[in-house]
Amino acid sequence: MKLSNTSTRVLVALAAIPLFIIACLVGRYLFLALVLFITLIAYSEFAQMARKKGHNPYYVFGFIAIAAIVLNDYINFAEFHLLVICIVLPIVSLEMFRKKGSPISNIGSTLLGIFYIGTLGGCLVKIREFYKDTDYLNGGLIVLTVMAAIWVCDSAAYFGGLRFGKHRLFQRVSPKKSWEGAIFGFIFSIVAAAAGKHFFLSFLSWEDSIVIGVLVGIAGQIGDLSESWLKRDAGVKDSSNLIPGHGGVFDRFDSLIAAAPAVYVYLKLFVK
């Protein structure tokens, strides 16, 4: 019997969610491996989309650069500025010996993929390690709360838009999304973060928890719109078909990749 798309999505989610919860709670190399998997596969999917537009991003060097960025977020073996130099200069130098397409588009698409997916996605490691010198579990609980807020935000935006959506949010980027759905998602993101505070995040103030919900409700939806924009430009429906019923890894984690840096910056600047 062939399963419906909804049934497939549910089954895949039921199988994947416990693995993510375990990785978030255990942290360390298990969580590092999870983030590396997400960022590297997402970069591969992004590179495939870029190729559909006639660009030729560097696959292998892109993988190496993203792995270096994410590992540096965990081990801190180099200053970020130094890491950027070690990424940008080799790509520019290699392109001079490459006779394939436009150097500007090749270099640009490579660096966009590396820094958009690698740098922003690597902030998940920064959040997970934020409390490494105090209560190590706390970082994992924040990551789980952010992931839950994103899921709630996406679901609320979808069903709120389906029921009440009348005003298009950003038609040339994602024609089906509405302002009503976005507002629903924003509100329920805050509700999810407040629930996280009530059940898990006793070490954060209510103000901090609400701000995290606000950041996820805004940045997460921007991330979703951004990836939709890239897919529309590339002329594809999904970033890949890797995950049955869900599309690609980039599709599933676009909101998380965008929300993680917003949450990390807030923790870094305002949370002791």
Output helix, strand, coil percentages for the chain, rounded to the nearest 5: 75, 5, 20
The predicted model scores a pTM of 0.92
Residue 4 lies in a domain: no
Residue 5 lies in a domain: no
Residue 1 lies in a domain: no
Residue 226: other Cβ atoms inside 10 A = 17
CB-based contacts of 191-198 (< 8 A; 24+ apart in sequence): 191/152, 192/145, 192/148, 192/149, 192/151, 192/152, 192/153, 192/216, 193/145, 193/149, 195/148, 196/141, 196/144, 196/145, 196/148, 196/149
- Per-residue pLDDT of the chain in tens (272 residues, 90 and over written 9): 555 555 666 677 777 888 999 999 998 999 999 999 999 999 999 999 999 999 999 999 999 999 999 999 999 999 999 999 999 999 999 999 888 889 999 999 999 999 999 999 999 999 999 999 889 999 999 999 999 999 999 999 989 988 887 888 888 878 788 899 999 999 999 999 999 999 999 999 999 999 999 999 999 999 999 999 999 889 888 888 887 766 889 999 999 999 999 999 999 999 97
Domain, as residue range, for 157: 12-270
Whether the Cβ atoms of residue 204 and residue 193 lie closer than 8 Å to each other: no
Gap between the Cα atoms of 214 and 219, Å rounded: 8
Gap between the Cα atoms of 38 and 118, Å rounded: 9
Residue 2 lies in a domain: no
Residue 248 lies in a domain: yes
Question: Domains in the chain: how many in total?
Answer: 1
Helices (runs of H) and strands (runs of E) counted in the chain: 10, 2
Report the length, in residues, of the chain. Answer: 272
